[in-house]
Amino acid sequence: MHNEFTAIIEKDEEWYIAYCAEIPGANGQGKTKEECLENLSEAIGLILDDQRQDSLRGISEDAISEMVAVG
């Protein structure tokens, strides 16, 4: 599944710091902009995976689960 999110990037002396506007708590940092974005992407993935797993706990066995694409 392909998703795109907004990365807000700021430079703090020698570090790039980024956060995701759509995913509270997702942030990254790095010595380069690319490293910062890679760390942010990983944080977003971890948060979404955790939220997905948490939302599936306690669902009844007869519930239907399907993927929905957002365009």
| Model confidence pLDDT, tens digit, residues 6-63 | 999 999 999 999 999 999 999 999 999 999 999 999 999 999 999 989 988 888 889 9
Query: Which stretch of DSSP H or E encloses residue 30?
Result: strand 27-30
**In whole angstroms, what is the distance from residue 48 CA to residue 56 CA?**
12
Residue 27 and residue 20 in contact, taking contact as beta carbons nearer than 8 Å: yes
- pLDDT given at position 3: 83
**Is 0.85 surpassed by the pTM of this model?**
no
- pLDDT given at position 1: 56
Residue 35 tokens, joined: 């490293």
| More confident of the two residues 39 and 1 | 39
User: Rounded to an integer, what is the distance from CA 32 to the centroid of its chain?
Assistant: 19
